[in-house]
Structure 1
Amino acid sequence: MAKQDELVFGIHAVSALMKRAPERFIELWLLKGREDERLLPIINLARKYGVSMQQMHRKALDDKSEGEQHQGVIARVKAGKVFTEDDLQDIVESTLARNEQPFLLILDGVTDPHNLGACLRNADAAGVQAIIVPKDNAARITATVRKVAVGAAETIPLVQVTNLARSMKALQNLGIWIIGTAGEATQSLYDCKLNGPMALVMGAEGKGMRRLTRETCDDLVKLPMAGEVSSLNVSVASGICLFEIVRQRLTN
């Protein structure tokens, strides 16, 4: 496989990308003998766009997906666009031009692809316009991320920035309030006003945000924890926080 090509597997991930960017598809590998109602729409789209299809035994598909659940379909596609700082400014400015409030998610040091995929899914459901990650020490869009995101990897731009703190300051200059989550915060998530132009920062599970990231935030909040567990998985915590922002926006 060429370096500029990527693998996408899973029914939702392949279907979402096929609908959004069929020109990126090079070939499609399908589980031999499977043409049920879940795969048929993908097969029909592939025929419509002239995508080459090949049937394979399960072992061959398992080898290509390196043990990840592929649901009987794997696609080889051309690499997608990498979003940068310039794209982030365009996203924010176009949001403001539509008289909408910017709503962004920043992930600092989240390296697990399953967590990134789940965060993408949360962000899509909550109406987030982009996820921002540092260029180094962060998960990237991979086949596993796409599979976990069940299509959200095609709808939410993942913006890679060289200097996270600098990019956060640029967002603040555009009028975006940045809220960070930290266990040592004195203010609860539910006591904070969260209904304006907003960027939510989530740190890696266990480590949390890096010092400079934390210091650049406008405010820090924490989730009230009643039990013995000291922290939640970052994707779970991001879902809770994102939808508290959604709730406040809908009720104010």
Structure 2
Amino acid sequence: MQNEHQIFGIRAIIEAINAGKEIDKVFIQKEAQGELMQDLLKTLKRNNVNFSYVPIEKLNKLTKNNNHQGAVATIAPISFVSLETLIEGVLEQKQNPLFLILDQLSDARNFGAIIRTAECSGVDGIIIQKQGSAPVNGDTVKTSAGAVFNIPICKVDHIKDAVFYLQGSGIKTVAATEKTENHLYDIDFKQGVAIIMGSEDKGVNPSVLKIVDEKAKLPMYGTISSLNVSVACGAFLYEVVRQRL
């Protein structure tokens, strides 16, 4: 079965994936067993569909106790673009594009808030990882104030591959991280650039930090010494806007 944003039931999800439906994420009941469940897992892995294991209470809440058979899929309200299509399409139109890479950002509301700021600050495309990223769901759409429909979003298997591809296309990559002495305001953002923001708890993956062109941090004066990722992202994006005005 399905409603506007969900599909529940193992066989229904398998059929939807095989039919090419744009599935954003699948929630699977912890310790779920059975031959059909194994078929679903094989289908998810074969098609690179993002999934996670959750308690049955989460599935009951998602479906209001419908017969979910241990699996619920969320349908993306948008279509995703490929990395090559995104970058080549933007580079044909402008010389100094602005891309945003979100490395394992997992909160849908933070994601929505970032999309809203990205759209307002002229970001040409957002790149996320297929596994472990926040779903594009109702919360994302709501907190983005509809901006999710106005900005291309691309899913990649690995953030590192996206970084290499951008660098090969002449785009400078800048990671937001506390693990540097460079301040945000020391970086030149006038050329084509991709800003990489990390997850809420771990920041940018160390393997990604090793390959970026530059690292930058925001100066901090309080005792907490960390900002919400969507607020930090806004500060980075508007420094790009300031420099390009």
Same fold by TM-score greater than 0.5: yes
**Is the CA contact (8 Å cut-off) linking 2:76 and 2:137 kept in structure 1?**
no
Corresponding residue of 2:2: 2
**Is the CA contact (8 Å cut-off) linking 2:99 and 2:123 kept in structure 1?**
yes
Q: CA deviation at 1:99?
A: 3.1
**Is the CA contact (8 Å cut-off) linking 2:83 and 2:162 kept in structure 1?**
no
How many Å separate the matches in 1 of 2:94 and 2:195?
Answer: 20
Q: When the two structures are aligned, how many residues end up with a matched partner? A: 181
How many Å separate the matches in 1 of 2:94 and 2:205?
Answer: 33
Corresponding residue of 2:14: none
Corresponding residue of 1:136: 131
**Is the CA contact (8 Å cut-off) linking 1:180 and 1:221 kept in structure 2?**
yes
Secondary structure of the equivalent of 2:102? Answer: strand
| Paired residue type of 1:167 | A
Give percent identity, aligned residues only. Answer: 34
Corresponding residue of 1:109: 104
Corresponding residue of 1:201: 196
**Is the CA contact (8 Å cut-off) linking 1:108 and 1:209 kept in structure 2?**
yes
How many Å separate the matches in 1 of 2:118 and 2:103?
Answer: 15
Distance 1:150 1:79, change over 3 A: closer
How many Å separate the matches in 1 of 2:167 and 2:76?
Answer: 35
Q: Any runs of at least 4 consecutive aligned residues in structure 1 with deviations exceeding 3 A, and if so which?
A: 63-66, 77-80
Q: CA deviation at 1:101?
A: 1.8
**Is the CA contact (8 Å cut-off) linking 1:205 and 1:231 kept in structure 2?**
no
How many Å separate the matches in 1 of 2:219 and 2:184?
Answer: 8
Q: CA deviation at 1:139?
A: 0.5
How many Å separate the matches in 2 of 1:213 and 1:78?
Answer: 27
- RMSD of the TM alignment (CA)? 2.1
Secondary structure of the equivalent of 2:87? Answer: helix
How many Å separate the matches in 1 of 2:130 and 2:225?
Answer: 29
Residue number among 225, 233, 238 corresponding to 1:238 in the alignment: 233
1:191-232 Cα shifts (integer Å, max 9, x gaps): 111111000000112311111111121100000001112110
Secondary structure of the equivalent of 1:178? Answer: strand
Q: Where do 5+ consecutive residues of structure 1 fail to align?
A: 8-62, 67-76
How many Å separate the matches in 1 of 2:76 and 2:193?
Answer: 33
Corresponding residue of 2:213: 218
Q: CA deviation at 1:179?
A: 0.2
Corresponding residue of 1:176: 171
Show the 5 A alignment for 1:35-114.
79-83=77-81, 87-114=82-109
Q: Where do 5+ consecutive residues of structure 2 fail to align?
A: 7-60, 65-74
1:151-183 Cα shifts (integer Å, max 9, x gaps): 111011221100110111011000000000111
Show the 5 A alignment for 1:156-167.
156-167=151-162
Secondary structure of the equivalent of 1:240? Answer: helix
How many Å separate the matches in 1 of 2:230 and 2:190?
Answer: 21
**Is the CA contact (8 Å cut-off) linking 1:205 and 1:232 kept in structure 2?**
no
**Is the CA contact (8 Å cut-off) linking 2:182 and 2:216 kept in structure 1?**
yes
How many Å separate the matches in 2 of 1:172 and 1:128?
Answer: 17
Normalised by the length of structure 1, the TM-score is: 0.67
